[in-house]
Amino acid sequence: MSDAQLSLLTAAPIIIAFAGALRAMGVLSTTATASAVGLSIAIAVVLFTTQ
């Protein structure tokens, strides 16, 4: 596994956790949170498989 793939495996959960925390504080709507989580997973999958 390359360094870039390891970084993706680290960054994606952090982004998801941050979006969840913002949702819990009331900063993000449910739709925005779902969008952030879904897009971060999609981007991570695409970048992980193309590395």
Domain span at residue 8 reads 3-50
Domain count, the chain: 1
Report pLDDT for 1: 82
The tokens describing 1, both together, are 């596994």
**Contact (Cβ atoms closer than 8 angstroms) between residue 44 and residue 8:** yes
Q: How distant is the alpha carbon of residue 22 from its chain centre?
A: 13
pLDDT value of residue 45: 93
How distant, in Å, are the alpha carbons of 12, 21, 28, 47 from that of 51? 15, 30, 31, 6
CA distance 28 to 32: 6
pTM (predicted TM-score) = 0.83
**pLDDT 10s digits, 1-51:** 889 899 999 999 999 999 999 999 999 999 999 999 999 999 999 999 987
